[in-house]
Structure 1
Amino acid sequence: MKHISFLFTLTLILILGCTPKTATTIEAPQAPTEEVVHTSDEPKSMPAEETRTELGGAVAKKMEKAAQTPTDPMMQSVPLDPRVITGKLDNGLTYYIQKNEKPEERAEIRLAVRAGSINEDDDQKGLAHFVEHMAFNGTMHFEKSELIDYLQSVGTRFGADLNAYTSFDETVYMLQVRTDSQAIFDKGMLILEDWANAVTFEDEEIDKERGVVLSELRSGLSAQERMRNQYLPTLLHGSKYADRLPIGTKEILSGAPYDALKRFYRDWYRPDLMSVVVVGDVDVEEVEKDIKERFGQIANPDDEREREKYGFPDHEQTLVSITKDKEANFTTAQVMYKHPHKPVKDLKDYRTSLVRNTYNRMLNNRLNELRQAADPPFLYGYSGYGRFVGNLDTYTAYVTSGEGEVMKGLASVLTENKRVLEHGFTASELDRTRIEMISEAETTAKEEDKTQSGTLAMQYVYNFLNENPVPSPTQRFQLAQALLPTISLEEVNALAKSWITDGENRVIIVTGPDKEDVPLPAEEDILDLLKEVDMKSVEPYEDEVANVPLLGEDPDAGKVVDTKTLDDLAVTEWVLSNGVQVILKPSDFQNDEIRFNAFSPGGHSIYPDEDYRSASLASAILNQSGIADFDQIQLQKMMAGKQLNVSPYISELEEGMSGFSTIKDLETMFQLIYMYFTDPRKDPEAYQSIISRQKQILQNYLVDPRNYYREKVSEIKYGDHKRRGVPTAEELDEASLDKIMEVYNDRFADASDFSFVFVGNFTLDSIRPLVEKYIGSLPNIEREEDWKDVGAHVAEGKHIERFSYGAAPKTQVEMSWSGEMDWDVEADRRKHNMLMEVLRNKLRESMREDKGGVYGVGVRGNVSKIPKEGQSVSLSFNADPDRVDELIQTALDDIQKIKNGGVSEEDLQKVREILKQSRIKNLKENRYWANALKSLYSYDLDPNMILLENYLPVIEQISPEDIVDMAKRTFNPENYIEVVMMPAADANGK
C-alpha cells in the first residue's frame, strides 16, 4: 500500500471516532465466517441528510482516543453507524435498534435466522422454506390465518409490508408495523416473538400449505430451472450447496412427515442464531427493554446441534458443463474463477472492496460500449468479482447471445479481460470512476435522515448474517473521500492477474436452445477459445472523451406570464411565454432530490400503420443515441459524477420526458431537457445496434412458454391488430432511421401543449431562472392536436380457449372481464379499486389458504378514460393441471358470492385501512406527487382528492352494498375471456 499521509490518517481518526451505542460490551455483532447472504462485493451506499466534517474540540478528543489504537489506522474495524444501538442477550440473540422517521409513525422490524436450506437433513430438502411458510399459518397467539387477518385490519398489505424469504444460509422475516398506536406496535413485536419461538405447526395447516409451496415450486419450472439443475453439480463441485436449493424437491414437499418440519424448527430456530432488528419512528430505550423482556426468556435447546461450515473443494482442472433445452430462448456462456470469500472487517478490507468496485465498474463500462456497437458482439455482457454463495467468491466473465453467436460474444468478453491483463485501465477511467463513487456517496450522505427504514433494517440484517459493513452514510462518504484517492492504477490493474487463473478452480457453463441446426459449442471449442484469446495480442483501450461544454450557447429565456396557486396542495402553476404549463411542488420529503414529468397528448397513435414501427421505436432509439454532437458513450462519460436522469418517451397516447436530479445537478438536468427537445442526435450506429439486438431476441422468443402464452392472450384479446403483440424480425425491417427522426422531431417540435411537473427540494425563486431559461425557450408553433383511437380494444363477447404448450407440468390461467364505466364519476372509480382489494383478499383466502392450490393470484383492475372510457379486470395464476378446473371454478364462485352480497363491513374496513395507510405514506414521497400531479392535469381530476382529509370521507362512505353493485356491473359473464395453457403431452400422453 502506498504511503498514507498525515491528513489521510487524521481523516480516518475522525471517522473512527464515531462509534455506535452499545447495550453490552460487544462492539458490533459479527457472524461466523461461514454465514452468508447473496450480496455483491460492492459496499452498499446509504442515504444521509447532509455532509458533515467533525471539527473543533471534537478533533482533540478523537486524537486522544486514537492514541490508544494500533499504529496503522487501516487495521481499525469498519465503524458501525453511530445511530444504531446493538446488543446481545445472555441467550445469544443479537439486536439492532435505530430511531428513523422515514416513514413517520412506522417501524420496520425483522427476524433474521442463520438457518436455511444448507442446514436441512437429507429428508428435509425444501423444508427450511416450508417452515417459513408455516410461520404465517398459526402461532401461539395467532391461530391459522389470524396473523394475516389482524395485520390487514390495521392497514398492512400482504406482500408489500409483510413478507419473508429463505435462502441457502438464512431465513428472514420482514414486517412494517405502525407506531402511532402502542397496541399495534406491541402486536407486531408479539408476532416477531411468535415467529422466533411459537409456530404451532398444526397438521391440517401443514397439509394445506403443501399445495402452496408446491405451487411456488411449479411456478419456477422453466428451461432455465432445468438447465440450472444440470449444471449446478459442476459449478458447485463437491459442495453440499449443489444439493440444497431452497425450493426443495416435489417428493419431500408433498410427503414429508409433520415432525420433519418441526425438527428443523427445533434445531435451528434458536436465540444464538437469531437477530431482531427494529428501525423506525420508535422510542429506542423502550424497544430495547421490550426486546430483552420478550426474547430474553427464549432458551437454546439442551442438545444444541452444531452449525457446520460447508465449503467448496478445490479442483485442479477446468470443469465444463454444456446444457441445452428446447425451450431456452437465449444462449449464455460464463467462465468463473473461484476464490475464497474474505469478510470486510477492517478498513484495509473495506479499501480492498473499493478497489474491486472500481475494477468492476471500469471493465463493465467497456463492455457496455461494445454492446452499443452497430454489430454488437453480444446481447449482454458482464465481467467482475463478487460474492457468489457461502464462503465462495467468483470472478466471472458472462455473456448472453443470440442464436449461433455465443462464441463471438464470449470471445469479445474474454478479449476485454485480456486487454485489462495486458494493458490495464487508463488514468482517465480511474479518475472518472473515483468521481462517480464519491459523488454517489455524497448524494446518499445528504439523505442520511431521509433513508427508508426498510433499507436500514436490511443493512443490519446483512451485518448480522454475513458481516456486511454498515457505516453511516456520512461515514461512507468520508471513507470514500479518504480512501478512493489512495487507490492507484497499478493496484487496480494487478487484480486481473490474481483473479484469472490458468485452470485451477475454473468452471465453464454454457446453456442454450436444443436445436440440431444450431449446435452449441463443444467443451474443446470453449477451451480452445480460452487458449486462443490468451495467446493473441490486443491493442490498448483508447478512452475517448469530449472535453467541450454540454450546451454550446445559452438559449434565449422566456418568461413566466401567469401564476396560479393550489393552496391546499401547496402547488404553484406557471404559464410561460411559449405556452408551456409548469406545475411546481416544493417539498422536503428528500433533502437532495427533484423529480419531473413532462407530457403532451398525441403519441404514436397519430401516425398511420405504415409508420407505426418507426414511431414505436423512436424513443428507444433516441435514448441510446446521445444528444447533439455527443454519442451515448461520450454523454455517459460527460455525466460522470452527476446524479441525474432524463428520459424522453413516445407512448401510444402521449409523448414526454421524465427524470430526476440532485440539487447541484439541477441545471444539467434542465440542459438535457432542452437539448432532447431541440437537438436530438441521429445515430445510425445506435439504430443498427438496437435493431440487431431486437432481432436476436426475437429468434427464439416464442419457444419460451411464458412468452408464447403472453402472445396468445394478446391475440385472443386484440386479434391480429398491428399495434399489439411483439413484432417479428420482418416487421422490424419496416422501421427506418429517417422516419424515426421525423417522428421524434415532430413529437417534440411544439412545446406549447406540454405540461411539466417538478416536485422536490427547491424554492420557487431558485428554480424560476432555470424554468424560464430552458423551458421557456422551447419551440412553440401553436399546434393543436390530440391522440387518436387506433381501435385496439379488447374483444367483446365470451371467448374461452385452451391449448397445450411447454414441457413443465403446470397450467397458466388468465380470466378477464371488460365493460363500460363513466370515468367522470369519482365514487365509481374508488368503488372499483376497493372491489379489486376485496377480491384479492377473497381469492387469497380461498385459493391459497383454504385449498392450497396456488402460490398467489394476480388481480389487476383498470378504469380508463382514454382512448375509450371503460373498466377491465384480469385474474392470473398458475396451477397443477389436474386442479385447474377446480381453481377456475373457485375464482368464479368467489366472484359470484360477492355479487350475491358476500361482502361484509369487516371485509371493507380492512380495505379502507390498507388504502388509508398507503395514502398516508405516499403523501410523503416525491415520486407519488410527481405521478399524482401528472394524472391530475392529464385527466382533469379533482385536486382535492389527493389530500387525505378529502380522500378518506369518500372511501368511508362506500358501503358493502356499493361493492356488491360494482361487482354486478364489472363481472359480466357475457363479456368474459378465459385463456388456459396446459402442458404439452409427453411421450406417454401425459
Structure 2
Amino acid sequence: MKLNQVSLIAAVALALFPLKEGIAQQSNDNPADLSKEIPFNPEVKKGVLDNGLTYYIKNNGKPEDKVELRLVVNAGSILETEDQRGLAHFMEHMNFNGTKNFEKNELVDYLQSIGVKFGAHLNAYTSFDETVYILPIPSDDPEKLEQGFQIIEDWAHNALLRGEDIDEERGVVLEEYRLGQGASQRMLAEYLPKVVNGSKYADRLPIGTKENLENFDYEDIRSFYNDWYRPNLMAVIAVGDVDVETLEQKIKDHFAGLENPKNPKERKSFSIPNHEETLIAIESDEEASSARVQVLFKDEGETKEDETLGEYRKSIVESLFSQMINNRLDELRNSPNPPFVFGASYHGGTWARTKEAYQSFAMTDANKLLDALEALLKENERVERYGFYEGELERAKSDLLSRLEKSYNDRDKTESNRIVGEYVRNFLEDEPMPGIEWEYNFHEQQLPTIQIEEVNKLIDDYIKDENRVVVITGPEKEGVKKVTEAEVRELLKNVEEAEIEPYKDEAVAESLITDMPKKGNIVKTTSNEKLGTTTLTLSNGAKVTYKNTDFKNDEILFEAFSYGGTSLYSTEDYRATAFANGGLDEAGVNGFDKVALNKMLSGKIVSVRPYISTYSEGFSGSASPKNLEELFQLTHLYFTDLNKDEEAYESFVNKQKAFLGNMLANPQVYFQIEMGEFMYGDSPRYMGFPTPEKMDAADYDLAYKKYQERFEDAGDFHFYFVGNIDEAKLKDYAETYLASLPGKNSDEEYEVDDFRPLTGSHKKVVEKGKDPKSSVRITYQGETKYDKKEAFALKTLGEILSIKLIEKLREEEGGVYGVGARGNISKTPYGWYSFTISFPCGPENVDKLKKAAIKEVEKLVEEGPTEKDLAKVKESQILDRKEELKENKFWINTLKDADYENENAENVLEFEKSVNSLSTKYLQKVAKKYLTDGYILGIHNPEATE
C-alpha cells in the first residue's frame, strides 16, 4: 500500500492522441461546433447501478489472461473529523486485514498463491479526496476471476474491523508514519497552510497524526467506513482480457445489493479561499537534501473540467503554452552557469481537487534560491511582454503531434494498467474521456487553427498579483544564507520593473549529418528461428542483432556494448575521470549543442545515450519506427563527432554540484554512502560519493580523450534492436551508419583487478539524523563459482524470504511497514553472490527485528522453505514471465545480457522448466551453501541526544 499525499509535478499530461495518415479526418472547411459537448469513449461501457455505484468496463487483450480491477471510493482524508485524522488511510490498511470472506492474512495468502504479489501488484492509495484499491487478477480461470470480484466487494462493505485487528495494525501504520518523517515533512507542515490559505487541507494530510493513530477509538474508524464507503460514492473498474458481458454481470452480481445509508452524510467539496496579498513561505532544515523554489498563481474560481469542444480546444492551447515555456526553461538549464538544475511551468492541479494554478518551480543550488526564483519570474515576464514566436509554436505542435501519433499507433497494444487511470479520473473529477479516434480527429482539425496570439493571451489569465504564493525550501547549514521575505518581495517588484530582452529563437539546421559517410556492407547474415532473431556481421566487424516484434506498433528499443570500459584505465586515469564521464554527451554532436539538437529533433521520437561503465562501453536508446534513421545517425555521430565544449561541461558540473551538494544531509543517503565505504572502501578505485569537491577535481580533457579511445573501434561492438522493425530499412541504415565506422577488430576484453569487497561477519553502526528512524541491512556476500541453477535458486530464496519477513516482521510483530530480501549470483566480472535483507524500523526495535529476520534465514537453512511458499513464488515467476515475453524491453535485455555473459539466449525458452525443477530440498541446499558463513550487519540509528 502506498500513501499518495499529492506531489506537484511539472508535467503537461493531457490524454491526447496522435495524428495518423489514412484515418478519416474532419475537414477544416467544416469546423466543429465548439459549443457541443465532448462525447464519451464508445469503446468503454459505463453504467450506474440503481444504488448509485458507477462502473467502467473495457475488453483489452494486453496483457493476455489478466484483468485490472479497481475499487474507487470518492472519500479521503479531507472528510475526516478531528477524531478520525489518519483513519481514511488506516481504513485502507484494514481492508487487507480481515473481511467477511477473507479472514486476517487469508487475502494476501490467497492472492500470493495465484501469483499476485503484495505491494508489487496488490496495492492501494489514499489521498485527500479519494481512496483507490488496485487488484490485478489472472483471468484464465473462472474461479480466480470470481474471487477477484469477491475481494473488491468485500473491500466495499464487508470489512470486519475487529478491535484486536485494528490494534495489531497500529504498529504497521505508525511505521509508515515514521517513514514519512524527515526534513521534507517538517517543512511541508510549515508551508502548506500558506499554500492552501488556512483551508482544511492544511491539517488533513492522509497519514494523520501519531497521537491519533495510537489512541483513536474503534468506533471512529467504523463510522468513517459506514459513512463514506457507500455505493453512490464508489466506482468499480474492470479492464482486461475478458468479454464485457461477463465483467458487467460480475459487477451486478457483487455490487447491485449494496445499500446506501438511510441518512447519508453530504459529501462536501472543500475549497481554498482566495487572497489578495502575496503569501510567502520560506522554510529550511538541517537535513534538507535539496533546495527548491516555487511560485503559484492560483485560479480565482474553482476547477471545472472540460465539457464542451471549445473548452477541450483550450486545453490543447494550454498544452502548447507549457511546451514552449518549458523549452525556454530547458535552454536556461543547459546554459553555462544555469540558475537551476531543473525548472518547469504548467497550469494544473494543486493540493485541493477544487483549485488549479499556474505553477513554476525549480530545483537549484542552496545559494542560488533567489537566482532561480528570478529566472522563473523573468521567463514568465518575458512571455507576458513579448509572447512566443511562430517557430516555437510550430515546434511545440510538432512535439505534441509526435506524442499523439505514438499513443494512437499503440492504441491496441496498451497495457490495461495504463488505461484504468483515465477512468478513475473521469469518475472522481469528471475528466473527459472521448476516446482515441475522436481525439485524433479533433486534434487534426484544431491544431492548424491555433494561432500564436491565442497562446500568448493565456499568460494574462495565469499571472496576477492575487492568489500568488511563493514557497522556498532548502538546507539550513553553515555557509548558506537564508532567504528573507523582504528579499522575495523586493525581487517580485524588481522583476516587474526590470529591462528584459526578447527571447532569441535561433534558426536550426535541417539535418543531423553534415557529410554522409561512405557506406559499408553486410558480409554475413545468420538467423535463430527459436528466438526469432537475425544477426548481421558488418564489413568493419561489428555485429547487429535484431528481433522484429508486434508487441508495440510504435516502438524500437536499442542497446549496444563493447567490452573494456574503465577497467582498461589506469587507476590514476580512472580516478581523474570517473565523475567527468557523465557530462561528456552534454556538449552535443557534430557542432550542434544540446539546445540546437533538441530543436532539430522536435517532432521526432528518438533518443540515444552513450555510456562508459566499469567493464564495457555502449549505447542505449529508443525510437519510433519512422525515426529509426535519426537513431542510427546519432549513434554514428557519438562515435565520430562528439563535441568538446568546456562551457557545456561546466554547466553539467554546476548542475551536479547543485543537485548533490546537500544529499549527504539526508540521513538515509548518508547511511548508504557509509556502508559503501565500509564494504568497498579499501579498493584503490573506489570513488565514493560525488561531492562538489570531487566534481571540481574531475578532468574533462582526459575524460574526453579516453572516450575517444573507447569508441574509436566500432568493430568489436554488438548492436541490438527489438521492436516494430522494417528490416530493409534497418539493413540499409546499418550499412550506412554503422558499417562505415572505423573497425580495428581489437576485440578487447575487460580487466579484473585483485580487489574483492568485504565478506564474512562484520558490523557497522551509523548514527545520523534527529528523527526516531532506524534501518537495518543484513548482507551475505562472497566469491563463488557461477552456476546458473544456483543463481536462480538464490534469487528464488530471496522472494520466499520476503514473504516470510512480511508475515513475521510486519503482520505478527507490527514492527515494519516494508521489508524485503534479494538474492543474486553474478557471473561478470567474476563469480560473486549477494543476499541482502533490508528494512526500516524504530530504534527500539532494531535488535528484536534483526534477530527475527535472522531466525527466518536459519529456518531456510535448517528446514528449507515450505512447499506452499515455494508454490507461491513459482506461480508469480511464471505469470511474470508470461507477460515479459510480450515486452520489447525484456527481449532486448535478454539478447544483450546473454552475449555479455557468454550465455545461450535460448535458455530463456526453458524458463518454466527451470522454475518447475526447483525443489524445497535443493533450495535448502543452496541456503546452506550461501547463508551460513556470516553476514555484514549495517545499522542506521538517529544521533544520540543528551
Q: TM-score range by the shorter chain?
A: over 0.9
Q: Is 1:448–1:474's contact at 8 Å kept on the other side of the alignment?
A: no
Pick from 430, 442, 446: which aligns with 1:479? 442
**Matching residue of 1:985:** 944
Q: Distance in 2 between matches of 1:813 and 1:674?
A: 47
Question: How do 1:621-640 and structure 2 match up within 5 A?
Answer: 621-640=583-602
2:229 maps to what in 1?
Answer: 269
Q: Which residue of 2 aligns with 1:829?
A: 791
Distance in 2 between residues matched to 1:516 and 1:971, nearest whole Å: 45
Q: Please state how far the C-alpha of 1:47 moved relative to its aligned partner.
A: 7.0
**Deviation, structure 1 residue 618:** 5.0
Alignment of 1:654-803 (within 5 A): 654-721=616-683, 722-791=685-754, 793-803=756-766
CA distance in 2, matches of 1:80, 1:749: 56
Query: Is the Cα contact below 8 Å between 2:11 and 2:346 reproduced in 1?
Result: no
| DSSP 3-state at the match of 2:715 | coil
- Structure 1 residue 226 corresponds to structure 2 residue 186: yes
SS in structure 2 of the partner of residue 428 of structure 1: helix
Moved more, 259-268 or 479-488: 479-488
Deviation at 1:763, TM superposition (A): 4.2
Verify the 8 A CA contact 1:379 1:693 in the aligned structure 2. Answer: yes
What secondary structure is seen at the aligned counterpart in 1 of 2:769? Answer: coil
Partners in 2 of 1:285 and 1:792 — Cα distance? 63
| Residue 44 (structure 1) aligned to one of 14, 39, 57 | 14
Report the equivalent of 2:782: 819
Shift of 1:79: 2.6
Indicate whether 1:345 and 2:304 are aligned.
no
Per the alignment, residue 124 of structure 2 pairs with 164
Q: Distance in 2 between matches of 1:750 and 1:417?
A: 47
Cα 1:767/1:507, change in 2 over 3 Å: same
CA distance in 1, matches of 2:514, 2:739: 18
Query: Which residue is equivalent to 1:493?
Result: 456
Q: Distance in 1 between matches of 2:430 and 2:106?
A: 35
Moved more, 608-617 or 374-383: 608-617
Instruction: Give the residue type in structure 2 aligned to 1:897.
Output: K
Return the alpha-carbon distance in structure 1 between the equivalents of residues 34 and 204 of structure 2.
38
> In structure 2, the residue corresponding to 1:118 is in which secondary structure?
helix
SS of residue matched to 1:860: strand
Q: Kindly tell me: are residues 650 and 517 of structure 1, through their superposed partners in 2, closer, same or farther at Cα, counting changes over 3 Å?
A: closer
Alpha-carbon shift at residue 734 of structure 1 (Å): 3.1
Name which of structure 1's ranges 127-136 and 797-806 shifts more when overlaid on structure 2.
Answer: 797-806
Task: Give the TM-score taking structure 2 as reference length.
Answer: 0.96
Q: Give how far 1:619 is off.
A: 4.5
1:703 deviates by: 1.7
Number of the residue aligned with 1:894: 856
Partners of 2:575 and 2:331 in 1: CA distance: 26
Q: Is the CA contact (8 Å cut-off) linking 2:580 and 2:699 kept in structure 1?
A: no
**Distance across 1 between alignment mates of 2:67 and 2:444:** 32
Q: CA–CA distance in 1 between the matches of 2:136 and 2:434?
A: 23
Cα offset, 1:554, TM superposition: 2.1
Deviations 1:193-252 (A, max 9, x none): 111111111222222211111111111111111011111111111210111001111111
2:806/2:818 contact within 8 Å kept: yes
Corresponding position of 2:169: 209
Matches within 5 A, 1:549-568: 549-568=511-530
2:3 aligns with: none
2:568–2:751: 8 Å Cα contact kept in structure 1?
yes
The offset of 1:403, in angstroms, is: 2.8
Residues 708-729 of structure 1 show CA distances to partners (whole Å, capped at 9, x for unaligned) of: 1111111111125443421333
1:491-526 C-alpha deviation (Å, 9 max, x unpaired): 211222221112x21112122222354221111110
Structure 1 residues 867 and 72: alpha-carbon distance in aligned structure 2, compared to 1, 3 A threshold? closer
* Residue correspondence of structure 1 range 862-881 to structure 2 within 5 A: 862-881=824-843
SS in 2 for 1:686: helix
Distance 2:438 2:585 in 1: 36
Does the 8 Å contact 2:760/2:781 carry over to 1? no
Q: Corresponding residue for 1:611?
A: 573
- CA contact 2:69–2:238 (8 Å) conserved in 1: yes
Q: 1: CA distance between counterparts of 2:712 and 2:339?
A: 36
Q: How many pairs were matched up?
A: 936
**CA–CA distance in 1 between the matches of 2:223 and 2:761?**
51
CA distance 1:960–1:48, change in 2 (3 Å): farther
Report deviation, 1:614.
5.0
Determine the C-alpha separation between the residues in 2 that align with 1:398 and 1:951.
Answer: 47
Tell me the distance in 2 between the aligned counterparts of 1:840 and 1:493: 55
1:559, 1:513 → 2: CA distance? 57
Could you tell me which amino acid in structure 2 is paired with residue 386 of structure 1? G
In structure 2, give the amino acid aligned to 1:214. L
1:652 aligns with 2:622: no
**What is the CA-CA distance between 1:578 and the residue it aligns to?**
1.1
* CA displacement, residues 827-881 of structure 1 (integer Å, 9 cap, x when unaligned): 1122111111111111111111111111111323221112221110112111011
Aligned-pair distance for 1:973?
A: 4.2
1:562-577 correspondence runs (5 A): 562-577=524-539
Matched residue, 2:925: 965
Distance 2:478 2:294 in 1: 22
How far the C-alpha of 1:84 sits from its partner, in A, is 0.6
Distance 1:37 1:707 in 2: 21
Match of 1:446 in 2: 409
Is 1:426 matched with 2:389? Answer: yes
| Aligned partner of residue 657 in structure 1, secondary structure | strand
Q: Deviations over 1:768-790 (max 9, x none)?
A: 11222212112101213222224
Give the secondary structure class of the aligned counterpart of 2:865.
Answer: coil
Report if aligned partners of 1:600, 1:655 keep a CA contact under 8 Å in 2: yes
Q: Which runs of 5+ in 1 are unaligned?
A: 1-35
Distance in 2 between residues matched to 1:898 and 1:686, nearest whole Å: 54
- What is the deviation of 1:115? 0.5
- The runs of 5 or more residues in structure 2 that have no matched partner are 1-5
Is 1:246 matched with 2:206? yes
CA contact (8 A) 1:50 1:448 kept: no
1:54: which partner in 2? Answer: 24
Distance across 1 between alignment mates of 2:556 and 2:458? 38
What is the letter of the counterpart of residue 268 of structure 2?
E
Q: Deviations over 1:155-194 (max 9, x none)?
A: 1122222111101100111111111111111111111111
Identical-pair percentage: 41
Question: TM-score, with normalisation over the residues of structure 1?
Answer: 0.92
Q: 1:691 to 1:725 in 2, by over 3 A?
A: same
Aligned to 1:7: none
Deviations 1:921-977 (A, max 9, x none): 000001110101111111122323212xx2112221211011111111121343x11
For 1:583-602, list aligned pairs within 5 A. 583-602=545-564
**2:318 alignment partner, one of 356, 361, 378:** 356
Q: 1:531 aligned to 2:490?
A: no
* Structure 1 residue 660 displacement after superposition: 1.0
8 Å Cα contact 2:307/2:432 also seen in 1: yes
Q: Which among 375, 385, 398 is matched to residue 412 of structure 1?
A: 375
User: Alpha carbons of 1:51 and 1:885: their partners in 2 closer, same or farther (altered >3 Å)?
Assistant: farther
In the alignment, the residues of structure 1 paired with residue 711 and residue 109 of structure 2 have an alpha-carbon distance, to the nearest angstrom, of 50
1:646-678 deviation per Cα after TM superposition (whole angstroms, max 9, x unaligned)? 111111111110111111111111111111111
Partners of 1:804 and 1:982 within 8 A in 2: yes
SS of the aligned residue for 2:649 comes to helix
C-alpha deviations, 1:630-654, integer Å up to 9, x for none? 0000000000000111111111111
Give me the whole-angstrom Cα distance separating, in 1, the residues matched to 2:916 and 2:511: 56
Q: Of 131, 144, 157, which aligns to 2:104?
A: 144
Measured in 1, the distance between the counterparts of 2:878 and 2:536 equals 31
Deviations 1:705-750 (A, max 9, x none): 1221111111111125443421333322332222121111111111
